[in-house]
Amino acid sequence: MTAVAALLMRDIRLAVRLGGGAPIGVLFFLVVVTLIPFALGPDLALLRRIGPAILWLGALLASLLALDRLFAADHEDGSLDLILMSRLPLEVTVAVKALAHWLTTGVPLVVAAPVLALFLDLKPRAMGAVALTLLVGTPALTCIGAMGAALAVTLRRGGLILAVLVLPLTIPVLIFGVAAANAAVGGPMPFGPPFMILCALSLISFVIGPFAAAAALRHGME
């Protein structure tokens, strides 16, 4: 367990230190959410209606931002070689790195979402709904992204390919995340079913993601 704790602490440290990905994600989220009202104009009723969707899109793009460095940084400086030689199973290593990424990127987005929701004139109930669905849904984004990051690890300019690979796979998460958030505000649908499906998507991707990413890493190192 020492190895797991050491890896988790190292990745969190790297993310929050200067040049790490954690603050960039939240800043990007802020910029995206701020830009959209400028594009749409000052129609508060419209913003209130599409606010949850804007927040979800912003969070999706922001959580992708630091993902391309998840394995590429370790590949470039040779750390990945040593990680592959460790006694820790590679699947566990991937899961720990994904957890560190979620703690440093996903959780700040969840915390920031209610604040940014003010820009979109969301009511407290809608703010809570968006934050809750993001809390449940962002682990799925991280785990799906980890698969893409592992596939793109040996490629130069892997970040762009990562976005192309990963964004289509996140569509179900986006659909059910926004559906659940809208349902909580008083849409035609009940809140329960889309929220449960969102939970299920997170759990499935947490089960599949580490194994798929580990397989991709092993294959990619050849």
Q: Where on the chain is the footprint of another protein (CB under 8 A)? A: 2-3, 5-7, 9-10, 13-14, 17-20, 76-79, 81-88, 221-222
Cβ proximity to another protein: between 12 and 30 the closer is 12
- Looking at the Cβ atoms of 150 and 183, the one nearer to another protein is 150
Phi, psi of 187 (to 5 degrees): -75, -175
Closer residue to another protein in complex, CB, 33/98: 98
Provide, rounded to whole angstroms, the least separation between the CB of residue 88 and another protein. 7
Residue 168 exposed, middle or buried by CB count within 10 Å (0-12, 13-18, 19+):
exposed
In the complex with another protein, which residue's Cβ is closer, 14 or 167?
A: 14
Shortest Å, Cβ 76 to another protein:
8
Q: How far is the CB of 5 from another protein (least distance, A)?
A: 7
* Cβ 80 vs Cβ 69: under 8 Å: no
Identify which of residues 56 and 71 has a Cβ nearer to another protein in the complex.
Answer: 71
Q: How many whole angstroms separate alpha carbon 172 and alpha carbon 96?
A: 24
- For the CB of residue 79, give the shortest distance to another protein in the complex, in Å: 4
Whichever of 52 and 210 has its CB closer to another protein, that residue is: 210
Residue 11 CB, nearest approach to another protein (Å) = 10
CB of residue 71 to another protein, shortest distance in Å: 14
Q: Report how far residue 169's alpha carbon sits from residue 86's, in angstroms, rounded to the nearest whole number.
A: 31
The 10 Å CB-count burial string (b at 16+, else e) for 27-49 is ebbbebbeebbeeeeeeeeebbe
Look-up: residue for tokens 């070689």?
81
22, with CB counted inside 10 A (0-12, 13-18, 19+), is: buried
In contact, 134 and 33? CB cutoff 8 Å = no
In DSSP notation, 192-213 reads HHHHHHHHHHHHHHHHHHHHHH
